[in-house]
């Protein structure tokens, strides 16, 4: 502390600018008198992690107005050694974007959401001092009061509410002093001004939304007055004037109502409507969770009866915990009773139903009906202008998995956060909507070509970042399909249909990407629809059949097993290749149903063979990731085996590598249960995924299947031969047998036998066989193995 006083007196903390020295000097004096620790190197936490959602909700408008500029800063400040910081009016950090190389540094110094950069917490700094002085400022190096942060140079400007001029937050650009640019202060001031302009635009939009939501109320036969969320007059209907005149009240631009949470200066209290006109007649208007304003239904003079109360009685009517400073005349309250309360309840229900008719109840976004209406309006307006109109359909890629694993309540919280992010990254959208489930839509005007592509790319990037829900980080990437008017359609329905076709194309190409509509996609969409409808009909009509591809011990040439493969013949589509219908079934959520059908058919067939005195070899059955995630999967499988009288050793479950890695710990526990029951597990298509020794060593796996793409490259590709050798050696080191798929030539067989691959399957031995043909390969039970001993 002595050193701090010395630095203040000798002026070693300030730059050459005398005016700036006075400002910094006064800030240092405040810090010394407030006993700020000069050795403090990390901003204190003002808001704990669990309360960050509350902090963001309280600053929703500021965050939404700032989001486009913060998103831009991610690209503009990359490689500059600087970051942009947004805080609330108390200096609490709301968001940080910029050079990713500073991620560690900003964490060490507490430049993260929830940390406070007020002068009282971290001494003289650009954010805290700008807020204390309510003006822009730059704080360079040693001008910071706390020594550990003197490595930084920062510029900050306050952000004011364009309506009342109050300070609502601060914007800062900070960087290590060696990297800092003198242009940062003008940049931060200009950006803060732009944010204020967006706040003004949002205020106008909210005013329009309030009017739109209150059309029915303003059309009532009684007197109605409309006020915004700050209690300022917006509009009154024709009946309001004579009612107010009878009360001796004349409306003006200064007319106000008291609002909970807002301090009322003494002069403004004179502008309030009398409390007798407000008591039990103040109705809030919401858009989703956002308060837009209030509707005051004025009482008819004949219905009034004198009651006591002041302006604060009206505040309590809108919020029991509200406090205000106001004066008023004796208030009059309308007669009330059970019928009056019931009427109010009915009106509340009607307003809520009216809102839900056009909006999504969870997110507050427009619903499909309102989207269609607004899109049609936008297209009609665009005919007379040169602005482009684009429809974006946005779908989360793995929402079903999150919903199934973590629960629907968790999924709802995720959808709310997704909606919040869309409001920020698509803040200029004409309309944002939730169509249902995890599908959202946006109508964007005035963005064409590269600008639209950049906007969509930033949206994907923003949605791809982790979401923190109930203390858990979750990733929920999205895919986006885009259709543009008029090139991709001249009506709302055609644009929506083509955007949906583009969305499906994006998902088919690997997800977490966007696609613009192109000719031919609609034909592909129709084919997918036809395929999906056919699959559902096949499930209901039992049109799937099972074939068996034999598996042989390579050295002995002995039949040791078979893989059960599903085939589908559709009355209209004919024989459909598994390479077509399996991905379609996965996308449509039908793969579990199909696998269940295959499992039932295989177990029934094994039981039938055994009843006829045959002992079939082990049959491998494919299992999907969704089946593994079902809590009762193992128990259900064991019950089915018992019901059919099929021993556990008669089957082997085949899973892909990707299935294993989704939840390695849960998979290990499930495999151990399967092993205890005597059910073997095989890893299919091994070598095409992660092929990690670390996860294989943790799992009780019985068999690895080398993917046929490697087997087919044995003759001419040394790299694939090396991969096969590595897989075999790794498997043998872990005590796991190897089966090669797709063996078609004698040279391939010779190479695999030379490398001690135990088993194989492929056209060299047999193509997949129908039941009757495969049955001919099965020897009688007495020749196949010794009979079971039943104790």
pLDDT digits (tens, 9 = 90+) for 587-643: 778 888 999 999 999 999 999 999 999 999 999 999 987 787 777 889 999 999 999
185-199, 314-328, 351-365, 706-720: least confident range: 314-328
- Cβ atoms of residues 152 and 124 within 8 Å: no
The pLDDT of residue 106 is: 83
Reply yes or no on whether the pLDDT at 657 is more than 80. no
Residue 192 shares a structural domain with residue 244: no
Residue 676 shares a structural domain with residue 576: yes
Cα-based distances in Å from 488 to 106, 499, 517: 45, 9, 7
Residues 6+ apart with CB under 8 A from 487: none
Which value, to the nearest 10 degrees, does the dihedral of the CA atoms of residues 734, 736, 742, 748 take?
Answer: 70
* 328 domain residue, yes or no: yes
Residue 321 shares a structural domain with residue 390: no
The pLDDT of residue 130 is: 93
Q: How wide is the angle at C-alpha 604 spanned by C-alphas 601 and 606, nearest 5°?
A: 110
The pLDDT of residue 6 is: 43
Specify the residue for token string 């249960």.
Answer: 673
Residue 34 shares a structural domain with residue 167: yes
142-151, 464-473, 483-492: least confident range: 464-473
Residue 609 shares a structural domain with residue 739: yes
Residue 720 shares a structural domain with residue 749: yes
What pLDDT, in 10s, does the model give residues 503-527?
988 887 777 888 888 877 767 667 7
More confident: 281 or 368: 368
Residues 6+ apart with CB under 8 A from 145: 4, 13, 27, 28, 31, 36, 38, 119, 122, 123, 124, 125
Mean of the per-residue pLDDT values of the chain: 80
| Most confident by average pLDDT, 320-329, 365-374, 409-418, 737-746 | 737-746
Cis peptide bond prior to 486, omega within 30° of 0: yes
Long-range contacts of the stretch 675-678 (C-beta < 8 A, 24+): 675/700, 677/634, 677/638, 677/648, 678/647, 678/648, 678/649
> In 3-state terms, what secondary structure has residue 39?
coil
What pLDDT, in 10s, does the model give residues 753-781?
999 999 999 999 999 999 999 999 998 86
Number of domains in the chain: 4
* 529 domain residue, yes or no: no
Which value, to the nearest 10 degrees, does the dihedral of the CA atoms of residues 130, 136, 138, 143 take?
Answer: -40
Q: Rounded CA gap, 732 and 750, in Å? A: 19
- Cβ atoms of residues 98 and 77 within 8 Å: yes
Reply yes or no on whether the pLDDT at 66 is more than 80. yes
Residue 552 shares a structural domain with residue 661: yes
For residue 486, give the CATH number of its domain: 3.30.70.270
Question: For residue 661, what are the domain limits?
Answer: 543-780
Domain boundary pick from 204, 230, 264? 204
Domain boundary pick from 146, 179, 204? 204
* 18 domain residue, yes or no: yes
What pLDDT, in 10s, does the model give residues 564-576?
999 999 888 889 9
- Cβ atoms of residues 394 and 439 within 8 Å: yes
Residue 479 shares a structural domain with residue 398: yes
130-134, 154-158, 321-325, 389-393: least confident range: 321-325
Residues 6+ apart with CB under 8 A from 68: 198, 424, 425, 427, 428
* 527 domain residue, yes or no: no
What pLDDT, in 10s, does the model give residues 246-263?
777 888 878 888 876 555
Q: Rounded CA gap, 14 and 21, in Å? A: 5
Using CB atoms within 10 A of its CB, is residue 526 exposed (0-12), middle (13-18) or buried (19+)? exposed
The pLDDT of residue 162 is: 86
H helix runs in 612-653, sequence order = 625-629, 633-644
The pLDDT of residue 645 is: 93
> In 3-state terms, what secondary structure has residue 604?
helix
Residues 6+ apart with CB under 8 A from 298: 222, 223, 224, 225, 239, 240, 243, 244, 277, 281
For residue 186, give the CATH number of its domain: 3.30.450.40
What pLDDT, in 10s, does the model give residues 315-372?
344 443 333 333 333 333 344 444 555 555 566 566 667 777 888 888 888 898 889 9
Q: Rounded CA gap, 75 and 574, in Å? A: 52
Residues 6+ apart with CB under 8 A from 100: 78
- Cβ atoms of residues 554 and 757 within 8 Å: yes
Cα-based distances in Å from 552 to 557, 615, 714, 735: 6, 16, 19, 19
Cα-based distances in Å from 383 to 231, 389, 447, 486, 712: 39, 10, 16, 9, 58
Domain boundary pick from 145, 175, 204? 204
* 535 domain residue, yes or no: no
Angle, nearest 10°, between helix axes 633-644 and 591-611? Answer: 30
Residue 181 shares a structural domain with residue 278: no
> In 3-state terms, what secondary structure has residue 161?
coil
Cα-based distances in Å from 690 to 4, 38, 59: 57, 51, 44
Which candidate, 41, 84, 54, places its Cα nearest to that of 170?
A: 84
Which candidate, 309, 294, 321, 167, places its Cα nearest to that of 231?
A: 294
More confident: 266 or 299: 299
For residue 635, give the CATH number of its domain: 3.20.20.450
Q: Rounded CA gap, 699 and 690, in Å? A: 14
Residue 613 shares a structural domain with residue 704: yes
Residue 435 shares a structural domain with residue 573: no
Average pLDDT for residues 534-555, to the nearest whole number?
Answer: 93
Q: CA end-to-end span of the chain, whole Å?
A: 87
Reply yes or no on whether the pLDDT at 98 is more than 90. no
* 536 domain residue, yes or no: no
Q: Rounded CA gap, 673 and 716, in Å? A: 42
The pLDDT of residue 309 is: 42
Specify the residue for token string 């020897």.
Answer: 779
Handedness of CA 140, 146, 151, 153 (dihedral sign): negative
Q: Rounded CA gap, 254 and 23, in Å? A: 37
Specify the residue for token string 């991905």.
Answer: 583
The pLDDT of residue 323 is: 35
Q: How wide is the angle at C-alpha 754 spanned by C-alphas 751 and 755, nearest 5°?
A: 90
Average pLDDT for residues 135-160, to the nearest whole number?
Answer: 90
* 359 domain residue, yes or no: no
* 400 domain residue, yes or no: yes
Which candidate, 634, 678, 625, places its Cα nearest to that of 654?
A: 625
Q: Rounded CA gap, 335 and 244, in Å? A: 19
Residue 42 shares a structural domain with residue 185: yes
């Amino acid at each position: 502390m002595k050193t701090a006083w010395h630095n203040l007196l000798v002026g070693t903390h300030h730059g050459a600018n005398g005016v700036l020295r006075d400002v910094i000097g006064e800030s240092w004096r405040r810090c010394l008198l407030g006993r700020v620790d000069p050795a403090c190197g990390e901003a204190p936490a003002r808001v704990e992690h669990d309360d960050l959602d509350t902090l963001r909700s309280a600053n929703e408008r500021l965050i939404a107005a700032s989001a486009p500029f913060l998103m831009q800063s991610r690209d503009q400040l990359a490689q500059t050694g600087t970051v942009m910081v947004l805080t609330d009016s108390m200096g609490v950090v709301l968001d940080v974007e910029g050079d990713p190389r500073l991620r560690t540094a900003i964490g060490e110094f507490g430049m993260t959401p929830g940390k406070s950069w007020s002068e009282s917490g971290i001494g003289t700094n650009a954010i805290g001092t700008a807020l204390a002085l309510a003006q822009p400022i730059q704080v360079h190096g040693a001008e910071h009061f706390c020594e550990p942060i003197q490595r930084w140079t920062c510029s900050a400007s306050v952000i004011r509410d364009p309506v009342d001029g109050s300070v609502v937050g601060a914007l800062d650009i900070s960087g290590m002093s060696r990297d800092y640019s003198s242009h940062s202060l003008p940049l931060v001031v200009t950006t803060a001004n732009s944010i204020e302009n967006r706040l003004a635009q949002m205020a106008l939009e909210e005013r329009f939304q309030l009017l739109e939501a209150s059309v029915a109320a303003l059309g009532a036969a009684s007197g109605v007055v409309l006020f915004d969320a700050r209690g300022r007059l917006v509009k009154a209907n024709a009946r309001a004037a004579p009612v107010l005149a009878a009360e001796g009240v004349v409306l003006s631009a200064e007319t106000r109502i008291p609002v909970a949470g807002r301090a009322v200066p003494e002069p403004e209290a004179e502008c309030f409507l009398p409390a007798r006109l407000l008591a039990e007649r103040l109705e809030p208007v919401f858009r989703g969770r956002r308060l837009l304003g209030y509707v005051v239904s004025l009482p008819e003079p004949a219905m009034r009866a004198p009651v006591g109360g002041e302006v604060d009685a009206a505040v309590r009517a809108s919020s029991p915990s509200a406090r205000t400073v106001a004066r008023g005349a004796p208030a009059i309250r309308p007669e009330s009773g059970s019928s009056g309360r019931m009427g109010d309840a009915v009106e509340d229900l009607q307003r809520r139903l009216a809102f839900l008719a056009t909006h999504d109840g969870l997110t507050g976004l427009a619903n499909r009906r309102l989207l269609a209406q607004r899109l049609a309006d936008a297209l009609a307006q665009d005919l007379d202008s040169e602005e482009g109109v684009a429809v974006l359909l946005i779908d989360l890629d793995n929402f079903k998995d999150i919903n199934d694993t973590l629960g629907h309540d968790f999924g709802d919280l995720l959808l709310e956060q997704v909606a919040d992010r869309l409001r920020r990254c698509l803040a200029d959208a004409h309309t944002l909507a939730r169509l249902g489930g995890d599908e959202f839509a946006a109508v964007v005007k005035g963005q064409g070509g590269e600008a639209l592509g950049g906007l969509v790319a930033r949206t994907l990037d923003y949605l791809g970042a982790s979401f923190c829900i109930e203390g858990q980080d979750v990733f929920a990437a999205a895919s986006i399909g885009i259709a543009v008017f008029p090139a991709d359609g001249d009506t709302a329905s055609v644009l929506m249909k083509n955007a949906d076709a583009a969305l499906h194309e994006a998902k088919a190409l690997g997800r977490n990407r966007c696609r613009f509509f192109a000719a031919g996609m609609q034909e592909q969409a129709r084919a997918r629809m036809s395929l999906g409808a056919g699959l559902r009909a096949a499930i209901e009509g039992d049109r799937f059949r099972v074939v068996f591809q034999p598996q042989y011990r390579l050295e002995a040439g002995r039949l040791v097993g078979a893989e059960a493969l599903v085939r589908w013949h559709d009355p209209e589509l004919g024989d459909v290749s598994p390479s077509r219908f399996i991905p379609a079934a996965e996308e449509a959520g039908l793969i579990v149903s199909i696998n269940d059908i295959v499992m039932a058919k295989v177990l029934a067939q094994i039981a039938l063979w055994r009843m006829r005195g045959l002992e079939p070899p082990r049959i491998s059955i494919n299992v999907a990731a969704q089946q593994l995630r079902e809590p009762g999967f193992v128990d259900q499988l064991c019950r089915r085996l018992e019901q059919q009288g099929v021993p556990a050793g008669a089957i082997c479950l085949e899973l892909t590598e990707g299935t294993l890695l989704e939840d390695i710990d849960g998979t290990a526990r499930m495999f151990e249960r399967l092993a205890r029951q005597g059910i073997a597990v095989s890893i299919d298509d091994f070598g095409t995924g992660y092929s990690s020794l670390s996860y294989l060593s943790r799992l009780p796996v019985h068999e690895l299947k080398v993917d046929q793409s490697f087997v087919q490259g044995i003759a001419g590709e040394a790299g694939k031969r090396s991969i096969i050798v590595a897989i075999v050696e790794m498997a043998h080191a872990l005590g796991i047998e190897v089966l090669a798929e797709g063996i078609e030539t004698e040279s391939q067989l010779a190479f695999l036998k030379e490398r001690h691959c135990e088993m194989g399957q492929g056209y060299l031995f047999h193509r997949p066989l129908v039941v009757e043909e495969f049955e001919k390969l099965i020897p009688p039970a007495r020749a196949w193995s010794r009979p079971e001993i039943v104790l």
